[in-house]
Amino acid sequence: MWSSWGDASNDKDENLRAIFLALLAMMLAIFWFLWSRKKCSKNPIPPLPPGPIGLPLLGYLPFLGTKLHREFTELARVYGPIYKLRLGSKLCVAISSPTLLKEMVRDHDTVFANHVPTTAALVGSYGARDIAFAPYGPDWRRLRMVFVSKMLSKTNLDDSYALRREEVHKSIGHIYDRIGIPIDLGKLAFSTATNNVMRMLWGGTILK
């Protein structure tokens, strides 16, 4: 009899503890909801474009395959030329329309100039000091002026035409030498573009 009464008492304590934890979780959820709503009312966030719903913490990463260009093309077909998706904890906005891209990089370039570089970009650019990852400002404008005047001027491009033509001929010859053998055109195009840039910079190549 005492054993039965003790078991019933333990079950009652367990039920009270479960009810208490459930009420505490509900109170915390309500508090977080009210706090986030109050914060959003003070700093309203503009409406975001549509996009796929991912998983908590992981976002849409588990649903992406190896052929990202096809994945993003399919997403643009479903959600339109501009859509959002979460990659882990990062909120990303993808643009697949040339008109929207032109408006972003030309008409509103200063608005989209500053962005948070990745760790790899910080290491590769010595602390985001190159033209690709440096914040918009006087230093970046000087880098752009040097880049346009020294590297992309008509004189320099004309002088390096023979080097670029030679690298393209090498790539075409590589294709002819492998007739009947599958070729990774993406890898070939990447190596050709990289070798062209390297030839223009210091006259040598790093990829074969």
The pTM of the whole model exceeds 0.75: no
Measured CA to CA, the distance from residue 143 to residue 201 in angstroms comes to 16
20's enclosing H/E stretch is: helix 2-42
Report yes or no: 117 and 133 within 8 Å, Cβ to Cβ: yes
Measured CA to CA, the distance from residue 197 to residue 191 in angstroms comes to 10
Measured CA to CA, the distance from residue 63 to residue 181 in angstroms comes to 32
Alpha-carbon distance values, 115 to 33, 110, 118 (Å):
29, 11, 10
So what's the pLDDT on residue 198? 83
So what's the pLDDT on residue 65? 82
So what's the pLDDT on residue 100? 86
Report yes or no: 198 and 167 within 8 Å, Cβ to Cβ: no
How would you write the pLDDT of the chain (208 residues) with one tens digit per residue?
A: 444 444 555 666 677 777 777 777 778 777 766 665 665 555 556 688 898 888 877 888 888 888 888 888 899 999 999 999 888 888 888 888 888 888 887 888 777 777 777 788 888 778 888 877 888 888 888 888 888 887 778 887 888 888 889 889 988 898 888 888 888 888 888 888 888 888 877 777 766 6
So what's the pLDDT on residue 2? 42
